[in-house]
Amino acid sequence: MLGLICVDVDGTLVGTGNVVRDDVWAALADARAQGVRVALCSGRPAIGNALDYARRLDPDGWHVFQNGASVVNAETGKSLSEAFPEDALPRLIAHAHAMDRLLEIYTDTEFAVTKPGDYARRHATLLGVPYTPRAPESLQGTRVRVQWVVPRAQEAEVVGEPHEGLDLHPSGSPVMQDVMFISATRAGVSKGSAVTRIAGQYGIPLERVMMVGDGENDVSAMRVVGHPVAMGNGEPPALAAARYTVAHVDDGGLREAVELAMRL
C-alpha cells in the first residue's frame, strides 16, 4: 500500500450536497488505521469545514490549504505557509473595486472581502463559517493568498489579466456551480509544491504518494506524485493528468481511489 493519500475537497471529498459519503469516511479511516497518512489538499482555508475535515482525516498530520499557500499541522497549528507578495495586494484590491468584483484576501485562518453580497455570503456558508464580511484593511497577520470569486463566464477574462509574480489556480465547486474561484498565490506556490513539502516531512518518496482531485488546481499535485487519480466528474485538465480515473464524487469515487491505494 502507499504511504500518503492527498485528497482534494470540492468535487472529490465533498459532493453536490455539500456532504461526505459515509463509505468514503470509512475507507479513509481504514487507510489511516493501517498506517497510511492522509492529507487534505484543498483550495479552502484552514477554518470551518475544511479544518474539521483535516482533523478527521489525520488529526495529528500535515494538511494543504489555500492551493498550497497554507501548510498547517492539524494538531499543533504549526504553519509552513508561504507569504503573498505584499506589493501586489494594493494593485489587486484597487482593480477589484474598479471592476466591481469580489476579491477575497486570506491569512492562514482569517479572510476579508472587497465586495460583500450574495457571492460572499454563499461562500461563507460553503466554508462553514459565519458571514461577517471584513474590509481588507482590517485584516491582521501574514497574507498568504487572494481569490477572485466571479461568474463562470468571467473566468477567461480574469485569468487573462496581468498577475505578475503570481500563479493562478482556477477551480469550481459542485455546491456553487455558477461560480469560479480563481486563487492567486506567490509564483511557484501550488498544491504540488505543498504536497512535496508534506511528503518530505513524513519521509515518504513521492512515488508512494497518491493525489486524488477533480479540478485544474489539482494538476500541479497530480504531476509530482507517483499515483495521480482523477474523479469521474473531473475537469479535462485533471482527467488528462491522471494515471487512474474513478467514479463520480456522488457515486463514491474517492472510496474507489482509497481502495486502490491500499492495493498498490
Per-residue pLDDT tens digits for 194-206:
999 999 999 999 9
- Asked whether the beta carbons of 198 and 71 are under 8 A apart, the reply is yes
Judge contact between 150 and 114, C-beta under 8 A: no
Tell which residue, 226, 212, 221, has the closest CA to residue 264: 226
Cell digits for 37?
497518512
pLDDT of residue 243: 98
Cβ(233)–Cβ(116) under 8 Å?
Answer: no
* Predicted local distance difference test score (pLDDT) of residue 204: 98
- The one-letter amino acid code at 214 reads D
C-alpha 61, offset from chain centre: 16
pLDDT of 215-236, one tens digit each? 999 999 999 999 999 999 999 9
Q: What percent of the chain has pLDDT over 70?
A: 100
Length of the chain: 264
Per-residue pLDDT of 80-115, as tens digits, reads 888 999 999 999 999 999 999 999 999 988 999 999
CA distance 263 to 92: 46
Nearest CA to 183 out of 149, 231, 232, 134 is that of: 149
Is the predicted pLDDT of residue 18 greater than 90, yes or no? no
Q: Average pLDDT over the chain, rounded to whole?
A: 96
Side-chain-side CA neighbours of 263 within 13 Å: the count stands at 6
Kindly state the cell numbers that stand for 107.
Answer: 491569512
Buried b vs exposed e over 98-111: b needs ≥16 C-beta within 10 Å? ebebbbbbbbbbbb
Say how far apart CA 185 and CA 214 lie, in whole Å: 20
Q: Tell me the per-residue pLDDT of 21-37, one tens digit each, with 9 for 90 and over.
A: 999 999 999 999 999 99
